Chain A
Amino acid sequence: MEEKMKNLKILETRQGFHFPHDVVHDILSKVSAKSLIRFKCVCKLWFTTISESTFEEIHLQQQMSKIMIINHVDNSKTYCVEEEGIIPGKHVVGLKSNNLLLYEDSLLNCKRLYVYDTFTQRHKLLPCITFRHGCSFVYDASTQIYKVVVFRDEFYGSTSNTRRLTCCIYSLDYERWLEDEEWRQLKAPVSQILVSCTSPKFLKGILYWLSRRSAVTNGLDVAFIQPLEIATEKYQEIIKLPYLNYSLHGFNNINLSEIKGLLCLMNPASVFEFDIWVLKDSIRSLWIKLHTISLVTMVDRPSWLGNFHGEEFSPCLVLEGCNNKLTYILFQSYGRELHWHKIDHRRIDIA
């Protein structure tokens, strides 16, 4: 008996560890969708496991449970944070980057920004910055520096009654947590007077946001996407939106998100229809419409949802299954509750 065990032990050491498959299954259900798709290549057994539709559902449920609700120190506010992204929304600036979280407190006039280290539970107050819009928290892997990117109103002209936006960046070196930096102002892209910047999305080293610039000639504002490369802090060519007759009511329920590693844009096409686009080619501003949610045929439509305009339906983020079959979007209702909406998927090839 003992001899047999000894042999078994030797065999185990030689062949490496043998994880029971239910443990592997459990581990895989906790890995992000992108990694899972990559891990289909590991071996045939993994390919089969990951491709099962029952697994896809289990995995998505697991990912949904990972979206954390984080309470601020005084418990007066709740922040919703996805593992790797932001849930934009009027009261939420929280964004998690590794173990750091950016949040703001909600004093009436000066909303102060803090970085919270979820590991050591330290808070760091950033220098005050006034007239602030939009906010994002990104990690520059090349320099290992965290950056907070915000926009602030700048008043200019002889009477200072003309307003434009400037981009400001704060760098935070994790190793030098206690040192205070200053906000650095980034020069605006040439000849553009930005009046609105919202819905930032950080993807592959580039921060994208929805912008509007006031048009001098015909009085119509123009909306577009402005990319900024984080490592070099250089603006890139603007990206046109996938539709031309954009109604200029602001960006209340339009958001940028990520689908299959590509930038995606979610916006109401009409009162009854909601479109999801992905950016196929940023240089040519080539978009593909991935999905349209119709109010009439929407599965499990919440009873309060009457139309896609206004603020009733504010999409926050997209959660995809690992097999191209299931997709959920998280949206915020008027009462700020969060809802998941399952998109019935027709398989669309965007490759």
Chain B
Amino acid sequence: MSKLGQAKRIIFLKTADGQLFEVDEPVAMEFEIVKSFFDENEDAADDTVVPLPNVSAEPLAGIIEFCKAHVEFRANGAAGKDEVKKFNAEYIKEKSNEQLKELILAANYLNIKEMLDFLTETIANRLKNKSVEYVRAFFGIENDFTPQEEEAVRKEYEWAFEGVDED
């Protein structure tokens, strides 16, 4: 119970792998998809479970952690400060590329703009100085150029292929 005597509302979210998450309302409302669910179903019961068929438990837990911290930053007037940058840097430091990809797909589906911005920036940084082959593997993209076509592009922009990190 909060000081005002109002119950702190909890939102129930169910992931693709069947896990039930209980999330504080302000945090859940960061997810545009959850927000519009309740906007469209105004008379939804308090114990309504929102299904998230495209998100599994692991990335969702990570997303909740991120959004919770950012909701608090905003409440404390710390948005945009060094504190936030530090949190973001720590948050992403231990995440593998696979985890990062899971997170970005989930954040995109849940439609969380701030987090998506941060994640795309992080991926862009990780692709810095990386080879074409690395990028293909990273995104799971198949090369659809013929060897001749690819060679032509490489030749035209030879300078951009210098000083690339080893895979």
Residues in A lying within 8 Å of B, measured CB to CB: 5, 9, 15-20, 23-24, 26-28, 30-32, 34-35, 37-44, 46-47, 118-119, 121, 204, 260-262, 351
Contact = CB atoms under 8 A, between A and B. Distances in A.
Contacts of A261: 159-160, 162
Given A17-B101, A34-B160, A260-B159, 11 more contacts: A23-B104, A31-B128, A35-B127, A37-B160, A38-B131, A39-B127, A39-B135, A41-B153, A43-B145, A119-B89, A121-B86
Given A30-B124, A35-B128, A23 B108 contact: yes
A38 B158 contact: no
Contacts of B123: 27
Contacts of B105: 17, 19, 23
Interface stretch (B2-10, B71-79, B136-144): B136-144
B156 A39 contact: no
B124 A31 contact: yes
B130 interface: yes
B44 interface: no
Given A41-B150, A351-B156, A35 B130 contact: yes
Interface residues of B, number: 42
B80 to A, nearest CB: 13
**Which of A16, A20, A24, A28 has the largest number of chain B CB atoms within 10 A?**
A16
B121 A19 contact: no
Given A19-B105, A23-B104, A43 B124 contact: no
B132 A38 contact: yes
**Which of B82, B105, B139 has the largest number of chain A CB atoms within 10 A?**
B139
Main secondary structure of the interface of B (DSSP, over half): helix
Contact of A16 (B124, B135, B140, B158): B140
A42 B136 contact: yes
B157 A37 contact: yes
B120 A23 contact: yes
Nearest to A19: B139
Contacts of B130: 35
B16 interface: yes
Interface string B76-103: 0000001001100100000000000100
Given A32-B128, A35-B127, A39-B135, A26 B120 contact: yes
A19 B102 CA distance: 10
Contacts of B101: 17, 19
B136 A43 contact: yes
Contacts of A18: 140
A2 to B, nearest CB: 10
**Which of A37, A39, A41, A46 has the largest number of chain B CB atoms within 10 A?**
A41
Given A17-B101, A17-B105, A19-B105, A38 B124 contact: no
**Which of A18, A37, A42 has the largest number of chain B CB atoms within 10 A?**
A42
B36 interface: no
Nearest to A20: B108
Contacts of A19: 101, 104-105, 139
A38 B163 contact: no
B95 to A, nearest CB: 15
Contacts of B144: 43-44
Nearest to B155: A351
B153 A24 contact: no
B158 to A, nearest CB: 7
B161 interface: yes
Given A5-B53, A23-B120, A42-B143, A31 B159 contact: no
A350 to B, nearest CB: 9
A42 B138 CA distance: 11
B110 to A, nearest CB: 13
B164 interface: yes
